[in-house]
Amino acid sequence: MDLLSIVVDEVALEGLDGITIPTLWIRLEDRQPGFPLKLDDCTKELIWKSLVINSDLLFYELPEERDDVVLTDRFKDIDAETGIEVTDSFTDTPKDIYPIDVVPENKDGIQGSCAFFKTRKDVTKQVRSKSPLTPLVSLSEALERYGRKLVVVASQCLRYRALIGSESDPDVKLGSDSYCVLERVGRARWQGELQRDLHGGSFRVDARKFHYFRKSLVRYQLVTMQSYVRRMKTGQQQHSILLLLKRFHVNRRTKYDILMEVTSNFLQQCPNQFSTVIMLREQLVVSIPLSFCRPCLSSLLLVVESCLFFS
């Protein structure tokens, strides 16, 4: 992907809400793999000009300024031995600067979530000339005039393609709610979204209804799902599903993968790769870190014992 395509991709991934210029710099700084140029004033001006002359991008002025995006890394506290997220203290949840407000079906085929869809003002004509497509204002002038009210929004085609990737069928039709789930997951990039956080927080619907939203995304293989476990400060474990776009999927070992690996390694060391259930149980109790909950270990032992019984 070339330099300017990377910039457009970041705009498209931000969804129908659009992206402010300061947040665009944050996204480019955090992009993986890294953005190839240093984001100095010259580079930023070059990027601004490329955005302005792109006919697939529109510029809007919001009724109020939007805060910059705050990036977090959900994987920095993952215990390598257990695959469980562990935190010693409660952290403040960043403000959601993209509240869910599903745009209903419309004749223009616009899909997505946008709190200011009807109230934001199209200022594209104040930013670029129509023919030829040239900037009417510089980056500094645009920021001085609009500040953090100015957002760049990619076309429906660009936004949808950024979400489904080049391998999926662009003619696949999604319901408005399902599309907004996909949009939300895409905006999270490599971090993904926890299903628990989506249905209980962002969308505020019960788990059954959210499962219906997710159903078409799974059927068309637009998202991947991974088991995710978070251990609270109280010691209680929360189980959820991590949703990611296919393009951002990374295979991460779950706690059950780790448990099965310990079992496999132990059996490999046994004569003829054979062990009694009692020996296996004792070995697992010794080998498994204390941070694993005992119910998980018991569940694994039941699975292993069943396999040994029927083999």
pLDDT in tens, 195-217: 999 988 889 888 899 999 999 99
How far apart CA 74 and CA 77 sit, in angstroms, is 7
Average pLDDT over residues 28-53: 95
Average pLDDT, the chain: 87
284-309 confidence digits (pLDDT tens): 666 655 445 455 555 555 555 555 44
What is the pLDDT, as a whole number, of residue 305? Answer: 52
Average pLDDT over residues 92-113: 90
CATH class, 74-117+165-252 region: mainly alpha
What is the pLDDT, as a whole number, of residue 21? Answer: 98
Q: Check whether 153 has a pLDDT greater than 80.
A: yes
What is the pLDDT, as a whole number, of residue 309? Answer: 46
Q: Band of the pLDDT at 164, cuts 50, 70, 90?
A: very high
* CA 91 to mean position of chain CA atoms: 19
Cα-based distances in Å from 62 to 120, 140, 300: 5, 18, 53
The token pair at 272 is 């003829």
Average pLDDT over residues 181-207: 92
254-277 confidence digits (pLDDT tens): 666 767 777 778 788 888 887 777
Q: Which residues contact 22 (CB under 8 A, 6 or more apart)?
A: 68, 148
Among 132-136, 217-221, 267-271, name the most confident range.
217-221
Q: Check whether 311 has a pLDDT greater than 50.
A: no
Helix (H, G, I), strand (E, B) or coil at 230: strand
What is the pLDDT, as a whole number, of residue 272? Answer: 81
- Could you tell me if 27 and 14 are in contact, meaning their C-beta atoms sit under 8 angstroms apart? yes
How far apart CA 311 and CA 307 sit, in angstroms, is 6
What is the pLDDT, as a whole number, of residue 42? Answer: 96
- Please give, one letter per residue, the 3-state secondary structure of the chain: CCHHHHHHHHHHHCCCCCEEHHHHHHHHHHCCCCCCCCCCHHHHHHHHHHHHCCCCEEEEECCCCCCCCCCCCCCCCECCCCCCEECCCCCCCCCCCCCCCECCCCCCCCCCECCCCCCCEECHHHHECCCCCCECCCHHHHHHHHHHHEEEEECHHHHHHHHHCCCCCCCCCCCHHHHHHHHHHHHCHHHCEEHHHHHHHHCCCCHHHHHHHHHHHHHCCCEEEEEEEEECCCCCEEEEEEEEEHHHCCCCCCHHHHHHHHHHHHHHHCHHHCCCHHHHHHHHHHHCCCCCCHHHHHHHHHHHHHHHHHC
What is the pLDDT, as a whole number, of residue 157? Answer: 96
How far apart CA 163 and CA 183 sit, in angstroms, is 7
Q: How many residues does the chain have?
A: 311
Q: Check whether 139 has a pLDDT greater than 90.
A: yes
Average pLDDT over residues 185-201: 93
Percent of the chain with pLDDT over 70: 87
45-92 confidence digits (pLDDT tens): 999 999 999 999 999 999 999 999 999 998 888 877 777 888 765 556
Q: Check whether 234 has a pLDDT greater than 60.
A: yes
What is the pLDDT, as a whole number, of residue 252? Answer: 74
Q: Band of the pLDDT at 310, cuts 50, 70, 90?
A: very low
What is the pLDDT, as a whole number, of residue 13? Answer: 98
The token pair at 208 is 């059954």
